[in-house]
Amino acid sequence: MKIFLFPSDYFNRKKVDPVYEEQFACIQSAGFATAVTSLESLGSGSLKILPILESGSKVVYRGWMLSPLDYERLVNLVESASSSMLTSKTEYLATHYLPNWYPLIADLTPETKVYSLNDNLESELTKLGWERFFIKDYVKSLKTSVGSIIREPSEIETVLVQMQKFKGIIEGAYAFDRLKILCLKPRSVIL
C-alpha cells in the first residue's frame, strides 16, 4: 500500500499542517491513503505516525525539508513499522544539498557560486561584479524579513544575520545565484 505522509498541525498532531491541507485532501480524493506525523517530535524519540502504518507500506513523504539527521530518523521510524520510504536516505541526500545536484543541472539554472562560512563574503561578491545576488545555504533561502536578494555586496551582512535568526542553522555553506534583469521588448498587437 502506498501512503502519503504529511507533517501534522503543531497544535493538533492528529490533523495535517494547514499549509498542506489542500494537497492532503487532493491525494485522499484521488484514492490514496494519507497519514500525519509531528515533525517537532523527530528528535524526541516520541515520533508517531497516525494512523499506524500497515506492514509493507511504501511511504511518500510530502512536507517541509528535513535535515539529513531528521530524514534518517523518519526513515528509521517507517522501517520500524515494517514499511519503507519511496525515497531512500541516500536518494534524499543526493537531492537535498546544493553541491550534490547543481552540477547535474548547471546549464539549466542561474550561475551559482559557493563560499564557506568563513569566507569574506562582501569581498568575494564584489569580485564577482554581478548586478544582483540571490543568497541561500545548501538547502534554502530566507523567505522572511529582508529576503534573499541583494544588489550591493555591502548588504550581505544584514541577510546573513537574518538567515541565522530565522533559520537557526546554516546548512553546509553559502550559495549565491546570479540574478539577471531581463528586459523584454513589447510585441505588436494586432486587433
Rounded CA separation 35/54 (Å): 11
Q: Residue 39's closest CA among 21, 63, 4?
A: 63
Q: How confident is the model at residue 122 (pLDDT cuts 50, 70, 90)?
A: very high
The 3-state DSSP composition of the chain as helix, strand, coil percent (nearest 5) reads 35, 20, 45
Counted residue by residue, the chain has a size of 191
As a whole number of Å, the end-to-end CA separation of the chain is 55
Residue 73, C-alpha cell as written in the block: 530518523
Domains of the chain: 2-95 (3.40.50), 97-179 (3.30.1490)
Phi, psi of 149, rounded to the nearest 5 degrees: -115, 130
| The model's pTM | 0.72
Residue 102, C-alpha cell as written in the block: 547543481
- Looking at residue 121, its pLDDT comes to 96
Query: Is the per-residue pLDDT at 130 higher than 90?
Result: yes
Contact, 11 vs 36, CB < 8 A?
no
Query: Is the per-residue pLDDT at 189 higher than 80?
Result: no
Asked which of 82-96, 115-129, 150-164, 170-184 is least confident by mean pLDDT, the reply is: 170-184
Radius of gyration of the chain from Cα atoms?
21
Peptide bond into 51 cis (omega under 30): yes
> Across-strand partners of 60?
4
Kindly provide the b/e burial profile for residues 95-121, where b requires at least 16 CB atoms within 10 angstroms of the residue's own CB. Answer: ebbbeeeeeeeeeeeeeeeeeeeeeeb
- Looking at residue 185, its pLDDT comes to 53
Query: Is the per-residue pLDDT at 153 higher than 60?
Result: yes
